[in-house]
Amino acid sequence: MTATITRLSDGATTTPDMFALPYEIVDESRNVETDLIGGGMAITLVPPRPAAGELTLIYATETDARAARQLHRARSAFTLDDTENPAAGMTYAIGRGGVRLALDEATQDAWVLTVSFREVEL
């Protein structure tokens, strides 16, 4: 993937060397299920929560990975633009899982930045 992540508060960007797959988004239901006293069930239909998931970004250097981590620490929303897969593009905020940085266990060379996200509409 050729992707750019932009911090909306100031236009700062990062370009990961690659994404680790699978790329997965979860649409969480907010429907309310209620058991009825006489049996059966009532379901109140509610629109789903905004999509959420994790981006796993791979960087060849520790310097680039730490800069991307710092970029994601700001109080801001971000855009993901992917020229090879435009459907992956989105605007997001950091989700509950936060941002994690680790040295890749397999290669002991690449750096892995995992970003928990929640899609947002601005």
Output the tens digit of pLDDT for each of the chain's 122 residues.
588 999 999 999 999 988 765 567 888 899 999 999 999 999 999 999 999 999 999 999 999 999 999 999 999 999 999 888 888 889 999 999 999 999 988 888 899 999 999 999 98
- Yes or no: say if 107 and 87 are a contact pair by the CB < 8 Å rule: no
Q: Where are the domains of the chain?
A: 3-119
Instruction: Check if the beta carbon of residue 115 is closer than 8 Å to that of residue 50.
Output: no
Structurally, what CATH architecture does the domain formed by 3-119 represent?
A: Beta Barrel (2.40)
Strand 32-35, strand 24-26: pairing: unpaired
User: What pTM was estimated for this model as a whole?
Assistant: 0.81
Q: Do 111 and 62 contact (CB within 8 A), yes or no?
A: yes
Distance CA(20)–CA(37), nearest Å, equals: 48
Predicted local confidence at residue 112, as pLDDT: 94
What's residue 1's pLDDT? Answer: 55
Nearest to 56, CA basis, from 80, 28, 29: 80
